Amino acid sequence: MAKHVTHWIGGKPWTGTAQRQGEVFDPALGTLSGHVDFASEADVDTAVAAASAAWNSWRTSTLSLRSRVLFDFRAALLRRREELAAVITSEHGKVLSDADGEIARGLEVVEFACGIPALLKGGFSESVSTQIDVTSIRQSVGVCAVITPFNFPAMVPLWFAPVAIACGNAVVLKPSEKDPSAAVLLAECWAEAGLPDGVFNVVHGDAVAVNRLLTHPEIRAVSFVGSTPVARHVYETGTSHGKRVQALGGAKNHMVVLPDADLDAAADAAVSAGFGSAGERCMAVSVVVAVDPIGDDLVARITERMARLRTGDGRRGCDMGPLVTAAHRDKVSAYIDAGVQAGAKLVVDGRGGDVDGSSDGFWLGPTLFDNVPPEASIYTDEIFGPVLGVVRAPTFDQALDLVNASPYGNGTAIFTTDGSLARRYQSEVEVGMVGINVPIPVPAAAYSFGGWKSSLFGDTHAYGPDGVHFFTRSKVVTSRWPRTTAPHAQLDLNFPGNR
């Protein structure tokens, strides 16, 4: 039976007023599996009103209650982990083990947020002046919008909502319309955990919902993850409406391989990070920079590993699933044509290969280009598919210059056994997340996730200490409690100094 995905407002499913719906597909079958409601502006207003009302009491909830709810949310997620992974695979297409992997990384952020009593400790200075003490506290911001992309339908919402809620805020999540069901399952987990109704809400839809959230007077903060043009729009619109905004954008991640590297480890890493989730990861490796003279050897090792990959239905134990939609598959396929025309050498062509799945699925096999010219669109654009390009660089310095010339700065990796070059790379590369012999350096939950340049608009990264900072406002209280025998303060119109 075709499913019907509805909003979640005030602690329960909510059918909106909108007349518009989107289609939801099973990418491995290539079939329409259901429809998702698209919120009107009025639907968004209803969700924000529910969140606002809930925030008024949640903001004063005790830290021990918040911590308990977070622990119970973690337990609910663990109970429903298999179900959630199956939902992700059925709408996104990524293989089941990879869907489970994104839940695992999301759970790490939930575990981080369980420690909220320690994370919200303030500061206190006794006697900064005569009989004057200073206290700093962090308080919630209000109703926070979280707008997320299709490629991590569980993990990216979990980067933000647990931290926002633990900090005493209410959340309105607008997930991707392409795979909306995971967000509803997360809402059910929050309800099972005893989170008061209205603290976590979901509205589905497209730009209409997003733009209303960006301009709604009661939305105080916006966390966005998606492509760079939309991230820029979200940042500019949200900030011009007085909101704090963190908008994470697209990427083009380079993996530099130095001649002294363990080439088998580097080839394993390039294939895993290039084709995992069919390249639909913001931290996917999309460019391998082979520093002379190891290019031919590295390409041979990568090619040999690619021949062993099984593309197919994520429910059948394959290595790589389909792309999310037919339109996206066609767009990525067109990039392969463009790469050939631009003079890159097509080493492995993923079009029309063997597939373990329905012939109607949105398939494109792993594709490898060598000698990619830096002006080719397969080098300059974020492709977001299973297309890996190799470029050659004569020296370490030229490899570093190439990476730093990219307008993106999300993630990068270097493979080497030379500690001093690795150290120079980590110091001089203009990228927010760096891996040394680690191809996908997603920071652990106690750190923060975010890129530089066109990969992030704003100044705070996701989760970790930056997350707590983003979802709280700081207040400083200066207090005087004079001894009763002390003389009363006298009139003094000078600027207050310390004595």
CB-based contact 138:123 (threshold 8 Å)? no
Give the C-alpha separation, 401 to 215, whole Å. 40
* Known catalytic membership, residue 282: yes
Task: Check: CB of residue 78 under 8 Å from CB of residue 40.
Answer: no
Select the span of 225-233, 265-273, 365-373, 485-493 touching ligand NAD (CB under 6 A): 225-233
**Rounded to an integer, what distance in angstroms lies between the CA atom of residue 67 and that of residue 193?**
11
**Tally of CB atoms within 10 A around 83:** 11
Q: Which of 172, 282, 344, 440 binds ligand NAD (CB under 6 A)?
A: 282
From 167, 189, 282, 318, the catalytic residue = 282
Write the DSSP assignment of 266-302 as a string of letters.
HHHHHHHHHHGGGG--TT-EEEEEEETT-HHHHHHHH
Burial of 39 (0-12, 13-18, 19+ CB in 10 A): buried
Contact between 410 and ligand NAD by CB under 6 A: the answer reads: yes
Site for ligand NAD contains 190 (CB under 6 A): no
225 lies in the binding site for ligand NAD (CB under 6 A): yes
Give the C-alpha separation, 367 to 87, whole Å. 27
Query: 207 or 477, CB closer to ligand NAD?
Result: 207
Site string for ligand NAD, 450-479 (x = CB under 6 A): -x---x------------------------
Nearer to ligand NAD, 227 or 371 (CB): 227
Quote the longest CA-to-CA distance of the chain. 90
- Lay out the site mask for ligand NAD across 88-127 (x = CB under 6 A, - = otherwise): ----------------------------------------
Under DSSP, the state recorded for 315 is G
Tell the smallest beta-carbon distance from residue 211 to ligand NAD (Å).
Answer: 6
Q: How far is the CB of 236 from ligand NAD (least distance, A)?
A: 12
Piece of 95-103, 243-251, 305-313, 470-478 that binds ligand NAD (CB under 6 A): 243-251
Q: Which two structure tokens, joined as six digits, stand for 185? A: 């399952």
116 vs 145, beta carbon nearer ligand NAD: 145
Task: Characterize the bridge pairing of strands 387-393 and 7-9.
Answer: unpaired
Q: Enter the tokens of residue 88.
A: 């992700």
Contact string (CB under 6 A) for ligand NAD, positions 131-170, x = contact: ----------------xxxxxx---x--------------
Secondary structure letter of residue 312 according to DSSP:
B
Residue holding tokens 């463009």? 338
Per-residue tokens: 396: 């370490």
Residue in the shown chain whose Cβ atom is closest to ligand NAD:
226
Tell me: does residue 251 bind ligand NAD (CB under 6 A).
Answer: yes
Beta bridge partners of 390: 288
Does residue 327 interact with ligand NAD by CB under 6 A?
no
Burial class of residue 346 in the structure, from the number of CB atoms within 10 Å of its CB (0-12 exposed, 13-18 middle, 19+ buried): middle
Rounded to whole angstroms, the Cα distance separating 142 from 259 reads 52
Q: With binding defined as CB under 6 A, does residue 207 bind ligand NAD?
A: yes
CB of 495 to ligand NAD, least distance (A): 45
| CA 82 from centre of chain | 21
* Residue among 196 and 274 whose Cβ is closer to ligand NAD: 274
Task: Check binding of 177 to ligand NAD (CB under 6 A).
Answer: yes
Q: Does 51 bind ligand NAD (CB under 6 A)?
A: no
Token code pair at residue 210? 């997003």
Nearer to ligand NAD, 38 or 471 (CB): 38
Q: Judged by CB under 6 A, does residue 250 bind ligand NAD? A: yes
Residue choice 27, 168, 196, 226 for contact with ligand NAD (CB under 6 A):
226
Q: Which residue numbers are catalytic? A: 282
Q: Which residues bind ligand NAD (CB under 6 A)?
A: 147-152, 156, 174, 176-177, 206-207, 210-211, 225-227, 230, 233, 248-251, 282, 382, 384, 410, 451, 455
